[in-house]
C-alpha cells in the first residue's frame, strides 16, 4: 500500500527566509504532484513532476523529485506572506487506476 | 480552464438522513474522485470512477456509495448520515492519460447534527 508522508506538518517562518518541505513515499512512482490550499478553499495545482531529477520552479517555489530516494522537496525562497497556505504532495501508485494518494499536508505560516 | 463544480458549499443534515453530494466536470475527463478532508489526516479517497457506471472503492468507502450515470457527473451518497461523516468533501477529475493531474472542485463542508 502506498503511503505518503510530509514533514514538517506545521511550519512557521519569517518573511525573507528559506525553507524546505519534504515528501516521502513508500513505493515506486514516477509521478508526483504538489498542491496548495488556502483556508476554506479547494486545492490548486502547483507542480507536476514526472521523472527522476525533475525540477520545476514558479516564482519563489521550486519542486524537485528523486525517484530513487522516493523523495520530493518543495523549496521556498525568500518567503513572503502570500505564500502562507497548506501544501500537499500527492503520488500516483505505479499501476492500476489513476488515483492520487496524498500526504497529510504542511501548514505554512509566514510572519511579516 | 478545467472546471469542477460541486453542488453545495455548505450543507447541514440530520443524523440518519440520506445525503447526495453532486459533482460536475466540463473537460470530458474519464476519471472522477471523491475525497474527504479532515484536520491532521490529509485527503482520503472514498471512491473513484474511471468510466461511466464504473466505480472502485478507495481507502474509506464504508458508509458511502457513488453513482456515475453520465461522464460529467459523479455523485456521492451517504445512505444514512452519521456525525462522524461531518467533514469537508472534495471532488476531483483527471484525464486518465499520461499526466493524470487532478483538478478539484471548491469543496462541500458537510455538518451532520
Query: Does residue A52 surpass a pLDDT of 90?
Result: no
Please provide the average confidence, as pLDDT, over all residues in chain A: 91
For B30-83, the DSSP string reads SEEEEEEEETTTEEEEEEEEEETTEEEE-S--TTEEEEEEETTEEEEEESS--G
CB nearest A98 (choices: B43, B100, B107): B100
Task: Among B3, B23, B39, B102, pick the best mutation site for testing chain A contact (most A Cβ within 10 A).
Answer: B102
Give the model's pLDDT for residue B97.
Answer: 65
Q: DSSP 3-state assignment of A82?
A: helix
Q: Which residue has the cell 455548505?
A: B10
B88: chain A residues, CB-CB within 8 Å: none
Task: Among A2, A7, A36, A42, pick the best mutation site for testing chain B contact (most B Cβ within 10 A).
Answer: A42
Q: Do B56 and A97 touch (CB under 8 A)?
A: yes
pLDDT tens track for A65-74? 999 999 999 9
CB A60 within 8 A of CB A76: yes
pLDDT tens track for B54-102? 999 999 999 999 999 999 999 999 999 999 999 999 999 988 666 667 8
| pLDDT-derived band at A98, boundaries 50, 70, 90 | confident
Q: How far is B18 from chain A (nearest CA, A)?
A: 25
Q: Do B105 and A42 touch (CB under 8 A)?
A: yes
Q: Do B100 and A92 touch (CB under 8 A)?
A: yes
Query: Does residue A97 surpass a pLDDT of 80?
Result: no
Q: Please compute Rg for chain A using Cα positions.
A: 13
CB nearest B42 (choices: A42, A92, A105): A105
Query: Does residue B20 surpass a pLDDT of 80?
Result: yes
Residues of A with CB under 8 A from a CB of B: 9, 31, 33, 35, 41-45, 48, 50, 88, 90, 92, 97-105
Amino acid at each position: 500500500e502506498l503511503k505518503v508522508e510530509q514533514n514538517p506538518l506545521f511550519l512557521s517562518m519569517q518573511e525573507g527566509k528559506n525553507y524546505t518541505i519534504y515528501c516521502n513515499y513508500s513505493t515506486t512512482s514516477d509521478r508526483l504532484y504538489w498542491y496548495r490550499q488556502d483556508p476554506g478553499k479547494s486545492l490548486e495545482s502547483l507542480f507536476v513532476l514526472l521523472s527522476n531529477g525533475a525540477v520545476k520552479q514558479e516564482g519563489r517555489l521550486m519542486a524537485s523529485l528523486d525517484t530513487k530516494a522516493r523523495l520530493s522537496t518543495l523549496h521556498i525562497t525568500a518567503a513572503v506572506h502570500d505564500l502562507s497556505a497548506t501544501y500537499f504532495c500527492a503520488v500516483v501508485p505505479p499501476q492500476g487506476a489513476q488515483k492520487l494518494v496524498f500526504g497529510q499536508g504542511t501548514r505554512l505560516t509566514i510572519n511579516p | 480552464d478545467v472546471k469542477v463544480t460541486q453542488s453545495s458549499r455548505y450543507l447541514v443534515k440530520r443524523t440518519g438522513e440520506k445525503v447526495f453530494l453532486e459533482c460536475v466536470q466540463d473537460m470530458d475527463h474519464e476519471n472522477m474522485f471523491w475525497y474527504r478532508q479532515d484536520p491532521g489526516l490529509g485527503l482520503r479517497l472514498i471512491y473513484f470512477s474511471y468510466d461511466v457506471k464504473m466505480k472502485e472503492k478507495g481507502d474509506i468507502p464504508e458508509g458511502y456509495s457513488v453513482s456515475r450515470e453520465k461522464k460529467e457527473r459523479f455523485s456521492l451518497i451517504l445512505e444514512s448520515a452519521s456525525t462522524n461523516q461531518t467533514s469537508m468533501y472534495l471532488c476531483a477529475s483527471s484525464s486518465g492519460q499520461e499526466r493524470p493531474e487532478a483538478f478539484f472542485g471548491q469543496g462541500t463542508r458537510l455538518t451532520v447534527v
